[in-house]
Amino acid sequence: MTAPIAISFAETDLDALAGAAGKLAVLVTPDGKMDPAARRLNRLTRGAVARLVESDRWSKVKTGEGVQIGYPTGLEAVAVMVISLPRRPSVEEARKAGASLAQFKGSEALTLCAGSTARVAELSLGLALRAYGFTAHKTAEAETPAPATIMVAKPEEVAAEAKPMMALAEGVFFTRDLVNEPANVLTTNDFAARLAAMQELGLEVEILEDDELAKLRMGALLGVGQGSDSPSKVVVMQWNGGEKDAPPLALVGKGVVFDTGGISLKPAGGMEDMTMDMGGAGVVAGVMRALALRGAKANVVGLVGLVENMPGPNAQRPGDVVTSMKGDTIEVINTDAEGRLVLADVMWYAQDRFKPVGMVDLATLTGAIIIALGHENAGVFSNNDALCDAFLKAAKAEGEGAWRMPLGQAYDDKLKSRIADMKNVGGRDAGSITAAQFLQRFVKDDCPWIHLDIAGVASVKSDTTLAPKGATGWGVLALDRLVRDNFEG
């Protein structure tokens, strides 16, 4: 997998600045106050830093962003970046500064003088997250990024704070790699193998093959994958870091490794993006990796349904009726509304086997959520205000956009079928809500539940603050925070 860049913390050594190779960076407050490192660099560059921060240009620099000084006099470094950042920045400001530094750094070594500025660990997370590139299928030899060194007043203290954040960065990178992979590489077999490899981190991993799924009567899930040569699977990942035998939090992910729409074929334009239709499963995998790496003191189980939705001689047809593991029958009106069929069986299995304290499912489920919320927010649906509020608080704290959407009987009524217990779609209007209503039919009354429709946020066409265009890894940070704040002992 793509590895985060190496970041280390060291005591501030002003005498080393003149000979530092690669690139240098300093932090200056928005009102132009310089710390000892900035003043030393100002002397070495014969007043270049002071000229910058005293100019009109500095007043226009946004917090967390910076200005470069190229090939500065008096330094070995090829460039210096002066970052505008308060001494006590917010989490968002600190991470944005780190992201700015990642773009400035490129593949060069970076030395940042952070002094006694607060939230330097958060800055390092922003640096790590933004310094991502997916190059697995480039024939040109990829440059190995040089490390970053951050000089601070208390390096051991900051390093300890940053350590679990680097576990998060690795979890996010794992998710991004999975979502960015093409479907001829990330088959259901390959996906399952990558998850099984996480046993090395202390996760318990089981792979349920299609014959086992048939014995479990997962007719909804199996119907989706029956047109593909790739076998359908369910992968179960358990992290038992909490009290022995305490019920876990369950995370359930949709893992459609490619979605043609099946017989209800999608238009050709943009179909290549359907490699990301396993985004929900990718997020669950990334969260489980992060929990294991940081040794979370909680019990969490991650379950993903891995299928490929293809047309073919054995493909599911519109009008077919399938029987779910729960026992309910489903009239398949549209074979492109397949993710909810996968989730229905995996969610029921998760509740039936693990009796979770709560359940969160994630899926790139509907285009309708993009119409409603664009690419800024995931849609949040829930049957439990306390769990939902806890997640929304976690998402806000981590800067991951999330917006609660309604549920209600009128939406549920749109799923009535003439020949089965329900239809898998409820019409064009309120499409993301009726999809959530479908899923709620597979949630037991006593199980607190959240459905996250991440179709608009899992992969994007332009850069974000903390990610280049493509897979974002949205949800890993928020769900890890949910676990930390609400389920760790």
Active centre residues (catalytic): 266, 340
Tokens of 200: 């090395």
208 contacts: CB under 8 Å, gap ≥ 6: 216, 233, 234, 235, 236
Closest CA to 446 of 402, 387, 392: 387
Cα-atom radius of gyration of the chain, to the nearest Å?
24
8-state DSSP, 304: E
315's enclosing H/E stretch is none
**What does the alpha-carbon distance between residue 158 and residue 424 come to, in Å, rounded to a whole number?**
51
Contact indicator for 254, 342 with CB cutoff of 8 Å: yes
Tokens of 380: 């949040």
Whole-number Cα distances in Å, 166 to 117, 122, 126, 157, 197:
20, 10, 10, 15, 20
74 contacts: CB under 8 Å, gap ≥ 6: 18, 44, 45, 46
**What does the alpha-carbon distance between residue 250 and residue 444 come to, in Å, rounded to a whole number?**
13
Closest CA to 449 of 364, 360, 380: 360
**What does the alpha-carbon distance between residue 42 and residue 50 come to, in Å, rounded to a whole number?**
6
284 contacts: CB under 8 Å, gap ≥ 6: 237, 251, 252, 253, 302, 303, 304, 362
Residue with tokens 């992979």: 181
Count CA atoms within 13 Å of residue 17 on its CB side. 28
